[in-house]
Structures are given as structure tokens and as C-alpha cells.
């Protein structure tokens, strides 16, 4: 599968209808949208534009967490208490609402099953979103590629898609899902309670037993910075590491 190429800029705005909003973790909701968009590639994002009744409009980027071409499209939105747009998805947006969306966008932070592996995905908080699209695409395609997914969050309850990933790992022997929490205790053998640094990443890679051909790291600025540096220290060549930064420091 090669998927559709990213649309030429500027891509047009499309109407999107909110099918439902579901609580994923205490700080993250899933927003399911129906919109006539091209399927795109795993790792891409949408720009979402919200317009208030007085005409004031704000737009933000959100990674697509659903597999390419899946309908409804799933976005996940983490609530930043002092944020302008993200609280709106938690407190105001409801089924039947209309939004405007543009995309899928992004040509660098993408993975296709034909790209091969082994594949290492590392996400912090809502940064798991584009990695989830890759996991779902990987699983649907049936490719025999080892995949290590490392997801970091504050607590076990803050791990988005946790139960889905544990269930998928039980059915897919080539998937290894490691949960990393910074303010909790270990809930499963192999999970970690610590911040991800060179030593932790080196240990995860050694335990995994594969050399990653493609690495995708996504999350807040500081998380991406720390993980990228750690991976370089652990001997992963820079040319294999692709990053997506959501902003902020956390
Ligand atoms: C390509 C791309 C994809 C993105 N995908 C997602 C996604 O799937 N889910 C999601 O929740 N967000 C995602 N974001 C971040 C999103 O676009 C918004 O920045 C976020 O929702 C905050 O918007 P806001 O209006 O609430 O906050 P604002 O009022 O715009 O900003 C508040 C402050 O929070 C900072 N900030 C932004 N994101 C984070 C973060 N993750 N952690 C800590 N601080 C942050 C901003 O830099 C700013 O300083 C993505 C960003 C990019 C560039």
C-alpha cells in the first residue's frame, strides 16, 4: 500500500461532523469525525478550524490516530488547562457539531507498511496519536515487521489506548508495547517507572533484540528532545529518527 500523497498546499477546508466524543483518559478525549477527506498516510495530521458565533476563528493541528482511510476519523485532544482551543473539545464540542478540517497534511512524519522495519515508536502523552495510526496500519496490513511501541505518561490511567494496545499485543506476537510512567508504580512486567533517558532506551532496545530501521518520536518539545538525545546516545543513527513536536515544555 502506498496511500495518497500529501495534498498540495493550501489544501481546501472540508466540513466535518462530530460523530461522538469519548473520554479516553482523565485528560484526553477521542473526537470521532466524518469528513470527505483523502485517506492519507499513517502519521499525518489535520488542521481543525473552530469558528465562534461572533466570527472569531482559531485553528490547531491534531494528528490522526485512526488508520489511513478509516471512517470515522479519530483525533485525540489533551486538555491544556490554560489552552485556548483544547478545553473546547472537552467542554463544548458534542455529537452533531460541525467543524472545518484541512488535510491530511505532513510528508515527513509518515510510515507506510512498504517502508518496512523493524519499527520503533516512542510517544509522550497525546503524542501517541500518530503512532497509534501507524500501529493500526501495521496491524491491518499484516506485514511481518517487529514493532516496539513505547508510550510515556504520568500514570497508568493517563496512558491513552492502553487497553487496546495490551489486547493487540496478546494477538500480535511481533508487537511489544512498553508503558512508561513517571508518577506511578509498575503494573506489568517489562514496564518502566522513570523518565526516558539514554540508559532506559538502551535497555529497551537490548531487551527487544532488534535494530530499528525507522524511529518515530512524538510529544511535547522537552519529551521529544530527551528521547531523541537518548536514542542518539544509545547508538541509533540520526538519519533513522523522525520527530513531531506538539509544543509546550511538558
Ligand atoms: C503536527 C501537530 C500535531 C498535533 N497533534 C496533537 C494531538 O494529536 N493531540 C493534542 O492534544 N495536541 C496536538 N497538537 C498540539 C495542538 O495543535 C495544540 O497546540 C494543543 O491542543 C494546545 O492548543 P490550545 O489552544 O489548547 O493551547 P494554546 O492556547 O494554543 O497554547 C497553550 C500553550 O501550551 C503549549 N502546548 C501545546 N501542546 C502542548 C503539549 N502537548 N504539552 C504541553 N504544552 C503544549 C503551547 O505551545 C502553548 O505554549 C499537535 C500539534 C502539532 C504541531
Q: What is the pLDDT of residue 60?
A: 98
Question: What confidence category does residue 248 fall into, taking pLDDT thresholds of 50, 70 and 90?
Answer: confident
| Ligand 1 centroid to residue 211 C-alpha, Å | 31
pTM: 0.94
Each residue's pLDDT tens digit, 125-181: 999 999 999 999 999 999 999 999 999 999 999 999 999 999 999 999 999 999 999
Q: What is the pLDDT of residues 104-114, one digit of tens each?
A: 999 999 999 99
Q: Give ligand 1 pocket residues (Cβ under 6 A).
A: 45, 60-63, 76-78, 80, 83-86, 125-126, 129, 220, 244, 246-248, 250
Percent of the chain with pLDDT over 70: 95
Q: Which of 49, 74, 86 to mutate to test the pocket of ligand 1 (most atoms within 8 A of CB)?
A: 86
Q: Output the CATH code of domain 113-245.
A: 3.40.50.80
CA angle 112, 114, 115 (to 5 degrees): 70
Could you tell me the residue ranges of all domains in the chain? 14-105, 113-245
**Residue 189, pLDDT above cutoff 50:** yes
CA 154 from chain centre, in angstroms, equals 16
Cα of 122 from ligand 1 centre, angstroms:
18
Task: Quickly tell me which residue has 518520536 as its cell.
Answer: 217
| Ligand 1, atom 9, residue with closest C-alpha | 77
E strands present in the chain: 14-25, 28-34, 45-51, 57-63, 73-78, 98-105, 119-124, 147-153, 175-181, 192-193, 214-219, 241-245
pLDDT at 1: 34
Ligand 1 atom closest to the Cα of residue 58 is 25
- For residue 35, CA distances in Å to 22, 102, 103, 135, 175 come to 18, 10, 11, 22, 31
Residue 5 pLDDT > 60: no
**pLDDT of res. 11:** 80
Residue 53 has a pLDDT of 83
SS3 64: strand
At residue 164, what are phi and psi to the nearest 5 degrees? -60, -40
**pLDDT (average), residues 11-21:** 95
* Cα-based distances in Å from 1 to 8, 67, 84, 242: 21, 13, 38, 21
Domain 14-105 has CATH 3.40.190.80: no
Instruction: List residues bridging with 73 in a β-sheet.
Output: 33
Amino acid at each position: 500500500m502506498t496511500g495518497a500523497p500529501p495534498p498540495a498546499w493550501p489544501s481546501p477546508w472540508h466540513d466535518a461532523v462530530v460523530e461522538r466524543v469519548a473520554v479516553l483518559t482523565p485528560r484526553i478525549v477521542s473526537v470521532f469525525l466524518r469528513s470527505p477527506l483523502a485517506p492519507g498516510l499513517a502519521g499525518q495530521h489535520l488542521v481543525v478550524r473552530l469558528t465562534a458565533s461572533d466570527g472569531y476563528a482559531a485553528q490547531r493541528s491534531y494528528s490522526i490516530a485512526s488508520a489511513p482511510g478509516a471512517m470515522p476519523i479519530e483525533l485525540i485532544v489533551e486538555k491544556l488547562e490554560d489552552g485556548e482551543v483544547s478545553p473546547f473539545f472537552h467542554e463544548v464540542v458534542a455529537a452533531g457539531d460541525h467543524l472545518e478540517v484541512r488535510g491530511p497534511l505532513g510528508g515527513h512524519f509518515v510510515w507506510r507498511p512498504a517502508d518496512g522495519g523493524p519499527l520503533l515508536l516512542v510517544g509522550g502523552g497525546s503524542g501517541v496519536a500518530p503512532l497509534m495510526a501507524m500501529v493500526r496500519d501495521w496491524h491491518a496490513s499484516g506485514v511481518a515487521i517487529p514493532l516496539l511501541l513505547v508510550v510515556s505518561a504520568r500514570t497508568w490511567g493517563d496512558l491513552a489506548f492502553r487497553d487496546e494496545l495490551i489486547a493487540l499485543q496478546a494477538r500480535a506476537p511481533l508487537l511489544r508495547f512498553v508503558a512508561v510512567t513517571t508518577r506511578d508504580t509498575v503494573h506489568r512486567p517489562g514496564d518502566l517507572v522513570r523518565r526516558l533517558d539514554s540508559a532506559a532506551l538502551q535497555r529497551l532496545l537490548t531487551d527487544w533484540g532488534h535494530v530499528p530501521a525507522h524511529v518515530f518520536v512524538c510529544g511535547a518539545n522537552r519529551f521529544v528532545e530527551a528521547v531523541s538525545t537518548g536514542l542518539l546516545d544509545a547508538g541509533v543513527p540520526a538519519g533513522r529518527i523522525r520527530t513531531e513536536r506538539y509544543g509546550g515544555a511538558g
